[in-house]
Structure 1
Amino acid sequence: MDGGFNYKIEKHSFFVSYQVQRGDNGSTKVGDIQGYSNIDEDNFSQLNEAFYQYQGQGWFSRVGKTDANSEFAVADNALGFINSSMGVSPTLVGLPTYPHPALSAIVGLDVNAKSKLVSGIFAAQDSDNFAQQFYITELRYQFNQQGKIKLGLWHDTNQRSLLSDKNNVKDGSSGYYLVLQQNLKSLNWLNSTSTHLYSQFAYADQKTSEIEWHFGAGIELANPFEQQNHNLGLGLSYVKLSPLLAPKPAVKQQ
């Protein structure tokens, strides 16, 4: 359960939200590597986001506690799916997102009429400690009225254990991702009003990330069978594990 408050006056806006989760995290019980749900988690109650944003002419800045996935690596046409990998690629190790948003500073700039560059720095030691940092930048290009491509690069300064030798660590980890989405109002399968497509491609360092490559794709039909406020979707998410990852024993059924 969550709720929030947004206040805006001219170029200034303030946002605060709070979350409460009750129940166990199913992923820890089934042992899935991608995460079958992007809202499941162990019990917690927390201030989720609290930030101030200034909207300038062709640019914006934001400071405060933020869920990084609300701004970065978002496949807008996949928001109707609940699988974790469709919300954000599992290669983005350390991304400060649900259920661990973090203090941050974000700046976005309109490069031209079709392109925008957004960059952010997040506390990565923990949610409010910048002793370690998570850096991310994303270039967005609107290639047609209903189509967009996003290219992102990220770097986490935290030390991570090498998969090949848990006794040794690597200073920092990095990766990149690509998100492509297209809306087709003229494609009306199953008497829908429009068709929404997306694809994801992402990479992380195989030395420290259990998942080296990720590919995702999906389709969503808006108002199928002439049913307003209904959506019908089908998605696929595939990962390639790091060749350095040691096999894990199978989960035993109780």
Structure 2
Amino acid sequence: MEKNYLTKHRQLTLLIGLHGLAMSNAVADDIDLSHSLTVDGHYLNTDDDDAFDWNGLYQFDLSHTLNERLTLNGGAFLATTNHPSAVIGDRQGFSNIESSDPLALTAFNLTYRNDDTRVLVGAFDENSEFAGVNVAGNFLNSSMGYSPTLTHFISYPEAATGLVIDSKLSANASIKAAYLTRELSFGDQQHLNAEFEWQPNAGSRIVAGLSDGHWYGVGETRLVRMEAWDWHGFLQWGDNNRYADFQRHLGMGIVVNSTTNDLSFGLATTAAKTQRDVTEQVWELYARWQVTDSIALQPDVQWITSDHDVVVTGSDYPDDDVAVTMRMVLTW
């Protein structure tokens, strides 16, 4: 991952400053501060070899309401990882909290809202603004709910810098556009993104997006409500033959949530084809238990298959890997 536009020293200074601002105003009604600590323990099986690894991520976010129209938002994370994805060589990323930088900004922006329009200026997580699947947030694989054809998106897990305009066209339709930039070693990079969203009903949404000349789509809906359970389904698609490592992507899944919000289950698959015509498919199954208001436990199993060795090295056998994760999340 490329270094963010802030140096790490400035990131740390801003991190401490944002946290100090929030703590000094913690009693104010217009300050919202949240913390989360995520710890993953991994068991990996690849080529009949076993390995154990782990990831850790601390993140805080704050929101300061300046007036009825303006809000100041900030956030940052601290991460520690041994990059377990490198152990099994998966390309879509079975862990969604790996980071090459131990410290980074996730948000520092000013947001303006009126009845029909939202304008955001500053640094923000682009993945939270575009192309995401709302019900897929508990999947651990980086491509579940977010297309890897958009790997040229410049933020995750650090912040993009730019301008976002989000406007309602009607009660069921909205359009969103963004201009973004970051600093790279060979110069600045800018790109444009636009997205149209239609909500046919309260439990469904259809998204069509265009990012630097290539298309992506998202669809999700409530399938059925059975006694104490809500069943949701999602579909995602992406195509990019110019910039990203992945040319095509297709993902789909089912998420089941208890109406009390203390239990959740998910089953999904994601398949992506790279520029070298290597196809990788992942099946993922998770169960999440909200033990208390502050503690959640989530076992997760992923089966990862790839024809990389067949296509690249001429092997007669595809790669088959298994990643088993126990995730614990603390929030306060």
TM-score category of the 2 structures, normalised to the smaller one: 0.7 to 0.9
Letter in 2 for 1:3: F
Structure 2 residue aligned with 1:164: none
Structure 1 residue aligned with 2:110: 52
Structure 1 residue aligned with 2:157: 99
Offset, 1:68: 0.4
Letter in 2 for 1:178: G
Structure 2 residue aligned with 1:141: 198
Alignment of 1:1-254 (within 5 A): 1-8=58-65, 9-126=67-184, 131-155=188-212, 174-184=213-223, 186-188=224-226, 192-205=228-241, 207-223=242-258, 228-242=261-275, 248=312
**C-alpha contact (below 8 Å) 1:216/1:237 kept by paired residues:** yes
- Partner SS for 2:170: coil
Offset, 1:104: 1.2
Offset, 1:24: 1.7
Offset, 1:193: 2.2
Deviates more, 1:29-38 or 1:16-25: 29-38
TM-score norm. by structure 2 comes to 0.63
Distance in 1, matches of 2:94 and 2:256, equals 22
Identity of aligned residues (%): 24
Show CA shifts across 1:87-113 (max 9, x none).
421001310232232211000111111
Identify if the C-alpha distance between structure 1 residues 234 and 196 changes in structure 2 by more than 3 Å, giving closer, same or farther: same
Distance in 1, matches of 2:178 and 2:268, equals 29
Distance in 2, matches of 1:87 and 1:216, equals 8
Q: Structure 2: any 5+ residue segments left out of the alignment?
A: 1-57, 279-307, 320-332
Distance in 2, matches of 1:54 and 1:200, equals 30
Offset, 1:227: 7.0
Distance in 2, matches of 1:32 and 1:228, equals 32
Offset, 1:70: 0.8
Q: Structure 1: any 5+ residue segments left out of the alignment?
A: 156-173
Distance in 1, matches of 2:133 and 2:187, equals 28
C-alpha RMSD of matched pairs (Å): 2.5
**C-alpha contact (below 8 Å) 1:182/1:196 kept by paired residues:** yes
Identify if the C-alpha distance between structure 1 residues 228 and 48 changes in structure 2 by more than 3 Å, giving closer, same or farther: closer
**C-alpha contact (below 8 Å) 2:161/2:180 kept by paired residues:** yes
Offset, 1:228: 4.8
Offset, 1:42: 3.5
Show CA shifts across 1:151-203 (max 9, x none).
10001xxxxxxxxxxxxxxxxxx42110000014x432xx6421111110110
**C-alpha contact (below 8 Å) 2:151/2:245 kept by paired residues:** no
The structure whose Rg is larger is: 2
TM-score norm. by structure 1 comes to 0.81
Q: Count residues with an aligned counterpart.
A: 226
